[in-house]
């Protein structure tokens, strides 16, 4: 088996054969741990998913569908528990940048002009505090390094989600192609797997929207930092 060019974003390489006479699936699965920290072994996760769908074991599309679903689930964990946390940390570190982003987008502040951190706070909506602003020390160079790394992670996830969309389409088309060759008593299993693929596809679409929003928020942080005067 030769690893595909998408191995780094897919985490998996799957080689599979199916016997229509014995209804036995034989597979070779190679996996890495690229997209999330090791929370639980891939094989343990896949075994748990397969046990929950024991009634579908004789169907040839069960394993590739479960493998894709597991990969999508890990991408979801990565987005929610890792990337979103990184962005919240950045927004908390830079403090007023969310306010500045909103002011820039609304036209209250024109990009390209120097922005004073203190002025932005004092003119922010609902700001009632008078007097001096406490000094805030941020290592901008280190912060930008971290933001670049986080933005690259967003692009990596985008590539992963794009690949997942292609895989879901492939699974859907393959399922349609093999239906005439399947035994009639696998019809119910086919319908259930078809619904499973649709659910996975819907999840990928939702994650793509979420990732796009995260990328936009990261970009807003870059825009604000570049317009700030230090």
Is residue 126 pLDDT above 60, yes or no? no
pLDDT, position 217: 83
Per-residue pLDDT tens over the stretch 44-97: 888 888 899 999 999 999 999 998 998 898 888 888 888 888 888 777 777 644
The whole-model pTM stands at 0.72
Spatial CA neighbour of 26 closest among 35, 17, 34: 17
Are the C-beta atoms of 56 and 62 separated by less than 8 Å?
Answer: yes
More confident: 220 or 200 = 200
More confident: 53 or 134 = 53
For the chain, the structural domain boundaries read: 60-227
Could you tell me the end-to-end alpha-carbon distance of the chain, in angstroms, rounded to an integer?
A: 55
Instruction: Report the C-alpha gap between 200 and 214 in whole angstroms.
Output: 21
More confident: 175 or 222 = 175
pLDDT, position 1: 35
């Amino acid at each position: 088996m030769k690893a595909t060019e998408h191995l780094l974003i897919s985490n998996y390489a799957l080689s599979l054969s199916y016997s229509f006479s014995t209804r036995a699936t034989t597979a070779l699965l190679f996996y890495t741990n690229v997209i999330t920290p090791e929370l639980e072994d891939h094989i343990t996760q896949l075994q748990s998913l397969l046990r929950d769908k024991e009634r579908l074991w004789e169907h040839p599309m069960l394993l590739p569908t479960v493998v894709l679903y597991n990969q999508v689930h890990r991408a979801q964990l990565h987005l929610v528990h890792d990337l979103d946390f990184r962005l919240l940390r950045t927004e908390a570190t830079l403090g007023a940048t969310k306010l500045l982003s909103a002011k820039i987008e609304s036209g209250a502040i024109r990009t390209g002009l120097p922005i004073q951190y203190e002025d932005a706070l004092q003119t922010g909506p609902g700001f009632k505090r008078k007097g001096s602003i406490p000094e805030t020390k941020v290592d901008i160079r280190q912060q930008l390094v971290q933001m670049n790394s986080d933005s690259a992670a967003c692009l990596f996830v985008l590539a992963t989600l794009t690949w997942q969309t292609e895989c879901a389409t492939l699974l859907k088309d393959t399922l349609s192609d093999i239906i005439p060759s399947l035994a009639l008593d696998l019809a119910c299993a086919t319908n259930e797997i078809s619904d499973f693929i649709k659910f996975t596809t819907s999840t990928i679409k939702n994650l793509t929207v979420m990732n796009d929003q995260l990328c936009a928020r990261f970009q807003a942080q870059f825009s604000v930092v570049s317009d700030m005067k230090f």
